[in-house]
C-alpha cells in the first residue's frame, strides 16, 4: 500500500468530501488524523476506516486554540496535510450579514494559511505534500458566492505562491479544484439551481479519486471537469465572454439565492 506509514491530516474529515478522501487514504495504508468541530461526526467516519491507527482531533481551524490542538496531535510528524474544511453561504452579496462574509473568509482562506504555517516545519522534515481543496469558483467568480469565490481565489493564489517558494525543497503544494459535488454544503436552493442550469455535479468519491491522483503524481494544480477547465481558461483570457454567459444565468441565480435567504429566515 503506497501510503503505508504516512501520517495524513484531513481537515473537514466529517463532511461529504472529507469522508470520501479519508476512506481513500486509509485504504491506501495512511495513518489519519481526522479534524472537524464535532466529535460524533468524526467518530462516525473513524468507524468506517480501514486499519486501526487513525485518530480524531476535535478542533475549530479558525481559532488559535484549535490550530494548537492540531499541531499537538501531529506529534512532530506529518507527511500530507489536506486543507479541506470549508463553508459556503449561498446569497446575493447585499443580503449577507458582514459576520457571515468574514466567517467564510476566515474558515476558507485565513485558517488554512495559518494552519499550513504552523505545520510546515513538520511537513518539511518529511519532504511531504500540502493539498489545498479549492473550487471551480476559485477560477470563476460566480454570482451568489462572492465571499466564497474570494476565499477560493485567495487559496489558489496562496497555493501557487507557496509552491513556487518551496520549489526544490522536496515539499509539494497542490491545489485541487472540485466542481459542484453532492454534499451537505449545498443547500436545497443550490441543488435546485444546479439542476435548472444543467450544472454537472460530481460524487464525493470522484473528488477523492482526483485527490489520490495528486498524491500518486504530485503536481501544482488539478481542476475537475472538462467544461469547468474550459470556462476557467476563457475567464482568464476573455472574461467578457463569461460575463455575458453569467448575465444570461443571473435571473435564475438571483431567484434561487433569494429563496435560500428566505429559507434561512
Ligand atoms: N460540495 C461542493 O459542491 C464543493 C465544490 C467545490 C469545492 N468544495 C470544497 O470542498 C471542501 C469540502 O466541502 P464539502 O462539500 O465536503 O462540505 P461539507 O460536507 O459541508 O463538509 C465541510 C467540513 O468542514 C468542516 N468544517 C467547517 N468549518 C470548520 C472549522 N471552522 N474547523 C474545522 N472544521 C470545519 C465540517 O465539520 P464541522 O462542521 O463538524 O466542523 C465538515 O467536516 C470545502 O473546502 C469546499 O469548499 C465543495
Q: Verify whether residue 148 is a known catalytic residue.
A: yes
Which residue is catalytic, options 142, 148, 175, 247? 148
Q: How far is the CA of 18 from the centre of ligand 1 (A)?
A: 7
Mutate to test the pocket of ligand 1, among 15, 16, 118, 158 (most ligand atoms within 8 A of CB): 15
**pLDDT grade for 265, boundaries at 50, 70 and 90:** confident
Ligand 1: which residue has its CA nearest to atom 41? 37
- The torsion of the CA quartet 108, 127, 52, 117, rounded to 10 degrees, works out to -30
In the predicted structure, residue 52 carries a pLDDT above the cut 80: no
- Give yes or no for residue 251 having a pLDDT over 90: yes
Q: Is residue 18 a contact partner of residue 9, using CB atoms and an 8 Å limit?
A: no
- Summarised one tens digit per residue, pLDDT across range 197-224 is 999 999 999 999 999 999 999 999 999 9
Q: Nearest-CA neighbor of 128 among 79, 77, 74, 76?
A: 79
CA 78 to the chain's CA centroid: 19
Q: How confident is the model at residue 139 (pLDDT cuts 50, 70, 90)?
A: very high
208 lines ligand 1 (CB under 6 A): no
The pLDDT tens digits for 78-134 are 999 999 999 999 999 999 999 999 999 999 999 999 999 999 999 999 999 999 999
In order of their start, the domains of the chain are 7-264 (3.40.50.720)
Amino acid at each position: 500500500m503506497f501510503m503505508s506509514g504516512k501520517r495524513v491530516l484531513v481537515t473537514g474529515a466529517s463532511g461529504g468530501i472529507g469522508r470520501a478522501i479519508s476512506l481513500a487514504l486509509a485504504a491506501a495504508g495512511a495513518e489519519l488524523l481526522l479534524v472537524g468541530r464535532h466529535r460524533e461526526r468524526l467518530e462516525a467516519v473513524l468507524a468506517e476506516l480501514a486499519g486501526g491507527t487513525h485518530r480524531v482531533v476535535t478542533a475549530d481551524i479558525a481559532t488559535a486554540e484549535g490550530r494548537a490542538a492540531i499541531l499537538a496531535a501531529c506529534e512532530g510528524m506529518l507527511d500530507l496535510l489536506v486543507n479541506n474544511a470549508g463553508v459556503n453561504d449561498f446569497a446575493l452579496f447585499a443580503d449577507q450579514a458582514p459576520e457571515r462574509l468574514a466567517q467564510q473568509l476566515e474558515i476558507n482562506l485565513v485558517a488554512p494559511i495559518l494552519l499550513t504555517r504552523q505545520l510546515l516545519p513538520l511537513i518539511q522534515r518529511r519532504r511531504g505534500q500540502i493539498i489545498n481543496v479549492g473550487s471551480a469558483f476559485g477560477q470563476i467568480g460566480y454570482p451568489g458566492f462572492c465571499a466564497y469565490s474570494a476565499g477560493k481565489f485567495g487559496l489558489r493564489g496562496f497555493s501557487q505562491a507557496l509552491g513556487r517558494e518551496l520549489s526544490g525543497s522536496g515539499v509539494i503544494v497542490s491545489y485541487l479544484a472540485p466542481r459542484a459535488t453532492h454534499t451537505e454544503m449545498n443547500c436545497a436552493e443550490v441543488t435546485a439551481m444546479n439542476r435548472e442550469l444543467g450544472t454537472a455535479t460530481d460524487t464525493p468519491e470522484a473528488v477523492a479519486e482526483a485527490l489520490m491522483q495528486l498524491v500518486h503524481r504530485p503536481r501544482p494544480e488539478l481542476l475537475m471537469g472538462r467544461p469547468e477547465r474550459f470556462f476557467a481558461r476563457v475567464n482568464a483570457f476573455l472574461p467578457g465572454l463569461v460575463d455575458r454567459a453569467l448575465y444570461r444565468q443571473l435571473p435564475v441565480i438571483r431567484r434561487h439565492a433569494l429563496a435560500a435567504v428566505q429559507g434561512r429566515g
